[in-house]
Amino acid sequence: MTRFQVRNKLRKAGSKAKSIAVERLGNVSQGTSRLSISKASMKLATMKSFIRLFAYGTTTVLGMSVVAGSAHATSFTLTSPTSGGTVAAGISPVGGIVLDLIGLNDTRVTSQLAANQLFQGFYSNNPGNIGTQTGFTSAITGALGGGLKQAAIRFTLYDGDTAAGDFDFNDNRLRLNGLNFGNWSSVNAQNTDANGNAGSAGFSSGGFRNDTLDTGWFSSSDAALLTSFYNSVVNTQQVVYQVDDVDPGENFYDFTQGISSNFTNVGQGPTVQPPSNAVPEPFTILGSLTAGGIGVALRRKRQKQEKEAAKV
């Protein structure tokens, strides 16, 4: 993207920010009517962040909340493409970075890195760090059966500019611990509102779109890639998320905004979920056998009593 195009994009952002701000401020209560916009004090590097505040932060400005589970709620953002399906309770419908791992023994490990711990701004280097999830202790990785068979990663990003027709189309790759996990333009992302309800823009059919709040899943079942990734997590006990951009520095990234303030600090460390077909623990098996034996004994005793009563 040329400098001329960058200036045009920022000029457009500034114009849109002012227009949206005036509209939003006209609807707020008297307590917030004292807010004002100072065009001179707005820096170009924060234009998009300013847009997000008014375009997607309505619930924050007005002090309102949206009840989860409305008629427009979407299951897409809470359903991993791995065999695990629906993500664990406590993970927000949008925001942050969700990691879903399926071990060779079908044990599942999930985590969510909170949105307020993620990157905002222009990258001056490449690849650029988005955030780092820690907590992958030996106990966590050891529960995965010595490796991975599936992995999925969910991102929420406003104004990603990687969909068809956008200036970063096919320019960006996702890296986890330095390993290539796919093209940002190949991910089917869904538009939602700030609370995770389905938005009017629908699905992107590939990429995170311009001026749109999109959430999408990367996924892989490539054995070689997952072996390298698993070993890197075992060795470092963390996952570093990065954007690899062929022409860094031209786009303003913000993985922290565009979502409700209720979700900005939602996160959880790696959590182990045993497979649904897991073999019961020895004590559980013993308990089941004991209960079964008692049941058989009681049934025989009852049958004996019924025979004796019939003879009388």
User: Within 93-163, where are the H helices?
Assistant: 138-142
pTM, entire model: 0.70
Query: Given this model, what pLDDT does residue 68 score?
Result: 40
Q: CA-CA distance, 3 to 1, in Å (whole number)?
A: 7
Q: Give pairs for 182-190: CB < 8 Å, separation 24+.
A: 182/218, 182/220, 184/160, 184/208, 184/243, 187/155, 187/216, 187/217, 187/218, 188/216, 189/160, 189/214, 189/215, 189/216, 190/74, 190/76, 190/77, 190/214, 190/215, 190/216
- Averaged pLDDT for residues 277-291: 51
- Averaged pLDDT for residues 279-285: 50
Residue-wise pLDDT tens digits, 165-178: 999 999 999 999 99
The more confidently predicted of residues 260 and 24 is 260
Q: Which of 103-107, 174-178, 305-309 shows the lowest mean pLDDT across its residues? A: 305-309
Angle, helix 47-55 to helix 3-25, in steps of 10 degrees: 30
Is residue 286 scored above 90 in pLDDT? no
Is residue 191 scored above 70 in pLDDT? yes
Q: CA-CA distance, 90 to 112, in Å (whole number)?
A: 9
**3-class DSSP state of 266:** coil
Q: At 60, is the pLDDT very low, low, confident or very high (cuts 50, 70, 90)?
A: very low
Query: Given this model, what pLDDT does residue 276 score?
Result: 75
Sheet of 179-183, strands arranged across: 128-134, 238-245, 172-176, 179-183
- Averaged pLDDT for residues 80-88: 96
Show me where the domains of the chain are located. Answer: 3-55, 76-273
Q: State which H helix or E strand residue 14 sits in.
A: helix 3-25
Query: Given this model, what pLDDT does residue 24 score?
Result: 40
Q: At 135, is the pLDDT very low, low, confident or very high (cuts 50, 70, 90)?
A: very high
Q: CA-CA distance, 28 to 34, in Å (whole number)?
A: 10
Is residue 59 scored above 50 in pLDDT? no
Is residue 11 scored above 50 in pLDDT? no
Residue 56 dihedral angles phi and psi, to the nearest 5°: -120, -10
Query: Given this model, what pLDDT does residue 295 score?
Result: 57
**3-class DSSP state of 216:** strand
The more confidently predicted of residues 31 and 182 is 182
Q: Which of 55-59, 258-262, 290-294, 307-311 shows the lowest mean pLDDT across its residues? A: 55-59
Encoded amino acid at 265, one letter: N
Encoded amino acid at 134, one letter: T
- Averaged pLDDT for residues 148-157: 98
Is residue 158 scored above 80 in pLDDT? yes
**What DSSP designation does 72 have?**
T
Q: CA-CA distance, 244 to 241, in Å (whole number)?
A: 10
Task: Give every CB contact of residue 198 below 8 A, 6+ residues apart in sequence.
Answer: 72, 73, 74, 190, 191, 192
What residue ranges in the chain does DSSP mark as E strands? 97-103, 108-113, 120-122, 128-134, 148-158, 172-176, 179-183, 189-192, 198-203, 213-220, 238-245, 252-254, 268-273
Q: At 248, is the pLDDT very low, low, confident or very high (cuts 50, 70, 90)?
A: confident
Q: Which two tokens stand for residue 282?
A: 């020895």
pLDDT > 90: percent of the chain: 61
- Averaged pLDDT for residues 53-80: 53
